[in-house]
Structure formats: structure tokens, C-alpha cells
């Protein structure tokens, strides 16, 4: 199954966030064959179509899903990933805080 290609602007915005967090162990990688950010071998987020999909602790997930156009991430229809939100590019100014929350979460301490 072919996964949708991320937009160039979503990848660029995500990579900028990752570069800013490199001193905290964030590196570029792939998830489902699309560009992602990882820390300690765990995926934090990925560019997906024209959005950022990000793994979040419950409080941050609730906040993210309240944003206009945000939704639970479903890589395949009917297969929502319970800790993941898909946040549109329109909210890209919030992406750094979401990735920071993800980093704290996957590192063992929810932020």
C-alpha cells in the first residue's frame, strides 16, 4: 500500500523543529516510509500530507484534537492510532510545543 506523500512545507517545518531539538537527541528518520523525527529510537512525529502527526500524552492530545481541522491519526481508514493526533499545517506555529510534549512523553516523562 502506497502511503500519501507529505507536502514539502510540512517536511521543512518538521525538520526545522527537529534541528532545534537535536541537542536533546532528536534525529531525522522515517515512519511508514515518510519523514519523521525520532528520539531514542522512538518516533515522535511525522509529516503526513499537509500536516504533522504527533504522539502525545493524554492532556496534550486533548488540546491538539481541539484545534480546528485536527483529528486522530489514521494511517489506514478505521485504524486510528490512540495516542496520535494529525494537526494541519495551518497550526504549524503550535507544532514545536507539540513535538516538545511528544519528546517528554516518549522519553518517559509526560510534558
**pLDDT, tens digit, 9 for 90 and up, residues 1-13:** 566 789 999 999 9
Q: What is the DSSP string of 28-61?
A: EEEETTEEEEEETTEEEEEEETTEEEEE--HHHH
Answer whether 0.75 is exceeded by the pTM. Answer: yes
Q: What pLDDT, on a 0 to 100 scale, did the predictor assign at position 1?
A: 53
The pLDDT tens digits of the residues spanning 49-88 come to 999 999 999 999 999 999 999 999 987 677 778 899 999 9
**Hey, CA dihedral for 106, 24, 20, 96, is it positive or negative?**
positive
Q: What pLDDT, on a 0 to 100 scale, did the predictor assign at position 101?
A: 97
Amino acid at each position: 500500500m502506497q502511503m500519501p506523500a507529505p507536502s514539502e512545507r510540512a517536511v521543512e517545518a518538521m525538520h526545522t523543529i527537529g534541528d532545534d531539538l537535536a541537542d536533546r537527541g532528536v534525529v531525522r528518520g522515517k515512519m511508514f516510509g515518510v519523514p519523521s523525527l525520532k528520539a531514542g529510537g522512538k518516533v515522535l512525529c511525522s509529516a503526513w500530507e499537509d500536516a504533522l502527526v504527533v504522539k502525545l500524552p493524554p492532556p496534550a492530545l486533548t488540546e491538539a484534537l481541539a484545534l480546528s481541522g485536527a483529528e486522530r491519526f489514521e494511517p489506514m481508514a478505521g485504524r486510528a492510532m490512540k495516542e496520535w493526533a494529525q494537526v494541519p499545517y495551518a497550526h504549524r506555529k503550535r507544532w514545536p510545543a507539540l513535538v516538545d510534549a511528544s519528546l517528554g512523553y516518549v522519553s518517559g516523562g509526560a510534558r
